[in-house]
Amino acid sequence: MLKIATSQIGYLGVGMRSLAKELGHEWVDPQRPGLEGLVRTRPLSPEYCCYPFRLALADCLSALDRGADTLVFFGGKGICRLAMYQSVQQEILARGGHAFEAHVVSGDIRSSLYGLLRDRSPYRDSWTYTPRTYLGFFKFMYKLKIIERWRMRLLAHRPYAMAQDRATAVFGQLVEKLDHTHEIGALSRLGRAGLRQLSALPANRSTVLPRVGIIGESYACIDDFTNRRVFERLNRLGIEVQSPISEYKFMSVVTRLYYKTEARRIRRAMRFFEAPGGGDSLLSVAYAEEFSRTCDGVLHLYPFTCLPETSVRQVIEPFLQRRGVPYLSLGLDEQTAEEGFSTRLETFVEVVKGRFAKS
């Protein structure tokens, strides 16, 4: 039996627990790094690497400290540097004296998953291991899809909720229960029950609230620690939030399940670039264009120094300005000052509310 861990991109670990269990292994939860964990990674990280590199490295160090012996890394997309980060992280950890096995999930599902974590599995023979691999991956993606649906319901309901803290707590309790549910039938029932539970929370819908669309780099948009719970902050400020980015869609891109469904958006965004950027840049532009028609403002989240998203900013800022849509870009890292972050966000919200009032 292997003790498996990976970096915590949002609730990715909830799905990984079922995949590990299906293959006869144990999942190890890394502790969220906090400032202390990030300080630990600063001298280990190359200067040019972005915030997600240090967050992922801190998660790996925490998991190894807690007994993990196997790390799963997720490759990147396009020409984003994330595609190569896993190689650098493995070398840094090995030079630090940490012993572990490494597995990388990226590209074609068959080549990524066949044989993944086969070492020391009690189901090593191909007749057992292969179907368990695909069943485990199905449960992994199904859990992430359930979380995506719950989050969309939460974001649509929480700004109107009579007790927003209660709505946030219910979502957290549902995810905790999902984390320890593994049977497909039980997952399906829990997914439906969670949607009903979130919808049943008392709410006041006597007024319509302004709406902000969130775009940007996956890590910055998905992970509450990284984005400083900006979704919840906006809801508290009386803003309804829309975001197409989730753990499910991140993994769909990594495993090449997602491009077919987003081909139309990507083709439309290509006209804004002389040469396409890497990472999430094309989807960021595509969704910014959509949100310019359906939302009252656009918030752009990305790790500080993220090159693909910096190019996106140069494209969409003048585009949204011409359409009169308020736009705010927030570059995030561990040195982002809380006071400046809050002030910029609150100012943006006031501009959005002003535009909404005039519409």
Q: Give the DSSP per-residue string, 140-160.
A: HHHHHHHHHHHHHHHHHHGGG
Burial class for 90, CB neighbours closer than 10 Å (0-12, 13-18, 19+): middle
> DSSP assignment of 254-311, as one string?
HTTSSHHHHHHHHHHHHTT-SS--STTHHHHHHHHHHHHHH-SEEEEEEETT-HHHHH
List Cα–Cα distances, 22 to 128, 142, 148, 154, 170, in angstroms.
11, 14, 22, 30, 28
Burial class for 297, CB neighbours closer than 10 Å (0-12, 13-18, 19+): buried
Q: How far apart are the first and last CA of the chain?
A: 60
- What is the rounded distance in angstroms from the CA atom of residue 86 to the CA atom of residue 352? 39
| Domain map (residue ranges) of the chain | 3-138
Helix (H, G, I), strand (E, B) or coil at 328: strand
pTM over 0.85: yes
Q: What is the pLDDT along the chain (359 residues), one digit of tens a residue?
A: 889 998 888 999 999 999 899 988 999 998 876 666 777 888 888 877 888 888 889 999 999 999 999 998 876 555 567 767 888 899 999 998 999 988 877 655 555 655 666 767 788 776 677 788 889 889 999 999 999 999 999 999 999 999 999 999 999 999 999 999 999 999 999 999 999 999 999 999 999 999 999 999 888 999 998 899 999 999 999 999 999 889 998 887 766 665 566 777 777 777 777 666 667 788 888 899 999 999 999 999 998 888 788 888 888 999 999 999 999 999 998 888 889 999 999 999 999 999 999 88
Residue 98 DSSP symbol: -
Which of 73, 70, 86, 173 has the alpha carbon at shortest distance from 119?
70
Helix (H, G, I), strand (E, B) or coil at 23: coil
